[in-house]
Amino acid sequence: MKKILIIPLLILAMNCNSSKSSDSKSNALTAYALLKASDSYSSSCTSSFGTGVADFIAKTFSCVTVTVSGTNYVFSTKSVPTYKSYYWGSTSSGYESSLYSTSNYGNPNKILAQSYTITVPITNTTTTAPAAAMGAIGLATNGIVFYNDVAGPGDSLSTEYYTFDSSQAHPTSTGSYHYHVEPVKLTLSDSALVGIAMDGYLVFGKLHDTATSNTSSFSLAATGSTTKCTSTPTTLPSTWAYKSNYETYTSHTAGSNSYHYHINNASGLYGIILSTNLIGTAGTSK
């Protein structure tokens, strides 16, 4: 009888040890991947656009795979920059020692390729200004995800700001490289297309057109700091080459739903891309 009881106990012990071993291996693999992240730098990337993807996406986004699924665009990205960064690590050919300003001090993390899948509605016309989720809430034209203006738990964006690299970005502890504020390698006080938010509305630089500030023509979205076009001019920046194509393929600019985002008209920490509120109902990010 004792022998019969011992066997199940031995099996249970073996299973527990196996589980602990599996967890240890998983943690070790993650640590190893972050340690070796500097080896994955490349100045080029690949892109792929499926049937039905409009030109305003296919001809302006890079380092992504984009397909159409029902009434949504599905973006897949590794969120890895093709430019040099402090966060590639000092042993990488992509390393640069400079940060955004001389007062910045960096963080101990390194860039690691991710597997983001971001789904956005193609013809969203809602303007309910829901609260945005934490993590990736949009995608820049270079395939880098952007977060809202809230830092990680236990931290503040005003503190994290001093860890930004020369493009005003940084990675999380798991290597997820992302923007919170104006990505200066894509836009610098201009009207360039910056990316797309998870609600499908486009994000542009601080200016509506080449020499027109958004200060007098835009107001804060909901209770956050994201700016959206709410009065004249209500159309997309006329300087954007794919304005007509965008309006052909979506309903975002129809009548009272003529909304889009602009980076907040401020510098540094306060030049945020998106706040804690979006314009419309968002898709998903995972």
* Dist. CA 35–CA 32, nearest whole Å: 5
In this predicted structure, what is the pLDDT of residue 21? 45
In this predicted structure, what is the pLDDT of residue 267? 82
Distance of CA 110 to CAs 11, 36, 94, 173, 231, Å? 40, 9, 12, 8, 42
pLDDT at 32 over 70: no
pLDDT at 34 over 60: no
Is the domain of 6 the same as that of 147? no
In this predicted structure, what is the pLDDT of residue 1? 45
Is the domain of 65 the same as that of 7? no
| Banded pLDDT at 220 (limits 50, 70, 90) | very low
What share of the chain in percent tops pLDDT 70?
74
In this predicted structure, what is the pLDDT of residue 252? 64
| Of the listed ranges 80-89, 109-118, 155-164, the one predicted with least confidence | 155-164
| Of the listed ranges 37-46, 47-56, 58-67, 217-226, the one predicted with least confidence | 217-226
Cβ–Cβ under 8 Å, residues 217 and 282: no
pLDDT at 119 over 50: yes
Q: What's this model's pTM, rounded to 2 decimal places? A: 0.82
Is the domain of 80 the same as that of 191? yes
* Dist. CA 198–CA 280, nearest whole Å: 9
| Of the listed ranges 76-85, 153-162, 230-239, 271-280, the one predicted with least confidence | 230-239
Is the domain of 45 the same as that of 29? no
Is the domain of 9 the same as that of 127? no
Tally of CA atoms within 13 A in the half-sphere of 65 that contains its CB: 7
| Banded pLDDT at 197 (limits 50, 70, 90) | very high
Is the domain of 10 the same as that of 104? no
Is the domain of 30 the same as that of 98? no
Is the domain of 52 the same as that of 83? yes
Residue 167: which domain range? 41-286
In this predicted structure, what is the pLDDT of residue 263? 86
Average pLDDT over residues 268-285: 84
Is the domain of 114 the same as that of 188? yes
Task: List, in order, residues 6 or more apart from 135 with CB less than 8 Å away.
Answer: 147, 285
Nearest to 118 by CA among 95, 93, 135, 96: 135
Residue 208 phi, psi dihedral angles, 5° rounding = -75, -45
Considering 149-153, 201-205, 217-221, the range whose residues carry the highest mean pLDDT is: 201-205
| Banded pLDDT at 156 (limits 50, 70, 90) | confident
Tally of structural domains, the chain: 2
Cβ–Cβ under 8 Å, residues 81 and 25: no
In this predicted structure, what is the pLDDT of residue 237? 82
Is the domain of 50 the same as that of 26? no
Which is higher by pLDDT, 22 or 246?
Answer: 246
Average pLDDT over residues 196-222: 70
- pLDDT tens, residue by residue, 7-18: 343 333 434 344
In this predicted structure, what is the pLDDT of residue 76? 98
In this predicted structure, what is the pLDDT of residue 22? 46
Is the domain of 26 the same as that of 50? no
Is the domain of 87 the same as that of 162? yes
